[in-house]
Amino acid sequence: MMLVKLGGSVITDKVRYRTFREEVLSRLVDEITSAQKEIILVHGAGSFGHIIAAQHQLQHGFSDISQIAGVAKVMEDVRELDLKVLKVLNLGGLPSVSLPPSAVASLRCGELDDLNVEMFRRYLELGMCPVTFGDVVLDRERRFGICSGDQLMERLAREFRPERVIFCSDVDGVFTADPARDPDAELIETVSRETLDALPRTKRCADVTGSIFGKLETMMRIASWGGDAIVLNGGIPGRLEAALRGETVVGSKVVSGTV
């Protein structure tokens, strides 16, 4: 089984509120269907989630009743994005079912607490592709919080021990320096604890669920339980499909058994 996250920066324009990239998603779905693998799919929220979540400071949990309208709006928007994703998947020939975190997950102090994994398992057994996504969910301490796609990836990887865990991003992977500013920046093909600790910490655009460093820490934990974890550029045709087929692709990989 393969576990794939389509990042919000790939399937939406992250800086323009609710801008869906339908052609990119259709192409990625074609790549998924041609690889013919059993899949659990997670997608990010992109501009359907982050912009309003940041305006209402939803990532820190409840502080004011005025946030509740923001909670409902983000839930509505990410469901709308999810429905668009689901339609493309079903149309592409991959029968899919949506499992919204607001209904099947809850947090405790911002950490993923409950997730109805049984539901994912049973839909997989039925021959369907379970789809879940970054959402606002209940938090036992903070009343609500943001459950990111990466938190879901980590839990699903721990439960299902997939062959490969693939994160589709809008960059080729992790670089030694910011490639937009430094022409000598090099792609790190294999990430180890040492390379991760040595990376310069910079922050790109507003994101309520953390940066590439958080993702790499997640990938380190995932690779320590089993399959390789890889981050690749989902904007470049063919890379996701190659990764699903088990081929070597341009990207940054945390190799299982090395952490």
Phi then psi for residue 126, to 5 deg, are -80, -5
Q: Which of 24, 71, 137, 146 touches ligand IPE (CB under 6 A)?
A: 146
Q: Is 70 in the site for ligand IPE (CB under 6 A)?
A: no
- Which spans in 5-144 are helix H? 8-11, 22-35, 50-55, 67-91, 101-104, 117-125
Separation between Cα atoms, residue 133 and residue 176, nearest integer Å: 30
Q: Minimum distance between the CB of residue 215 and ligand IPE, rounded to whole angstroms? A: 9
Q: Which of 3, 25, 107, 136 touches ligand IPE (CB under 6 A)?
A: 136
Choose between 146 and 230: whose C-beta lies nearer to ligand IPE. 146
Q: Is 50 in the site for ligand IPE (CB under 6 A)?
A: yes
| Under 8 Å between Cβ of 241 and 92 | no
State which amino acid sits at residue 249: V
Q: Which of 28, 37, 41, 46 touches ligand IPE (CB under 6 A)?
A: 46
Q: Which of 92, 134, 173, 235 touches ligand IPE (CB under 6 A)?
A: 134
Choose between 42 and 89: whose C-beta lies nearer to ligand IPE. 42
Q: Which of 159, 112, 154 is nearest to 137 (CA)?
A: 112
Provide the b/e sequence for 224-257 (b: ≥16 CB within 10 Å): ebbbbbbbbbbbeeebbbbbbeeeebebbbbebe
Cβ count within 10 A of residue 48:
29
Q: Which of 7, 130, 145, 162 touches ligand IPE (CB under 6 A)?
A: 7
Q: Is 8 in the site for ligand IPE (CB under 6 A)?
A: yes
The encoded tokens of residue 80 equal 């709308």
Contact mark string toward ligand IPE, 148..167, x via CB under 6 A: xxx-----------------
Q: Is 49 in the site for ligand IPE (CB under 6 A)?
A: yes
Three-state SS at 114:
strand
Q: Is 251 in the site for ligand IPE (CB under 6 A)?
A: no
- 10 Å CB burial of residue 222 (0-12, 13-18, 19+) is buried
Choose between 31 and 135: whose C-beta lies nearer to ligand IPE. 135
Choose the binding region for ligand IPE from 26-34, 45-53, 64-72, 188-196 (rule: CB under 6 A): 45-53
Q: Where do contacts with ligand IPE occur on this chain (CB under 6 A)?
A: 7-8, 44-46, 49-50, 53, 74, 78, 134-136, 146, 148-150, 207-209
